[in-house]
């Protein structure tokens, strides 16, 4: 992207999980939202790779920075497939959704 005047905030997801997992009840709460956390993490990585701010993505999508912030905050908002496709396009990605068979013995 062009000369952006912002410094992205570094986020080490693995280090965050390692610190947070020491708290009581974290494992169950995280497991309940794991898919949402994975999606949010992928979105943040894609936006960072694209060198875009939330404002820039919002402009590309024709929405507001606060809407992008909500999209990138796991567990607070369940975006539609159409919205995820627009976000993916804005950050130079394609959206892929797949269903994966469960392993034997997992309900």
DSSP string computed for 50-103: HT--HHHHHHHHTS-HHHHHHHTSTTT----HHHHHHHHHHTT--------PPP
What is the 8-class DSSP label of residue 24? T
**Dist CA 68 CA 96 (whole Å):** 19
What is the 8-class DSSP label of residue 11? -
Instruction: Tell me the pTM.
Output: 0.72
Which domains are delineated in the chain? Answer: 13-90 (1.10.260.40)
Share of the chain above pLDDT 70, in %: 88
Q: Is the pLDDT of residue 68 over 90?
A: yes
> What mean pLDDT comes out for the span 3-15?
73
**Dist CA 49 CA 26 (whole Å):** 29
């Amino acid at each position: 992207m062009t000369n952006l005047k912002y410094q992205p905030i570094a986020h080490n997801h693995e280090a965050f999980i390692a610190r947070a997992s020491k708290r009581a009840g974290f494992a169950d709460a995280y497991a309940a939202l794991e898919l949402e956390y994975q999606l949010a993490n992928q979105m943040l990585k894609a936006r960072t790779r694209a060198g875009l701010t939330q404002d820039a993505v919002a402009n590309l999508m024709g929405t507001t920075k606060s809407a992008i912030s909500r999209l990138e905050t796991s567990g607070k908002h369940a975006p539609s497939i159409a919205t995820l496709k627009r976000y993916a396009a804005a950050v130079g990605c394609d959206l892929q959704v797949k269903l994966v068979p469960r392993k034997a013995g997992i309900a």
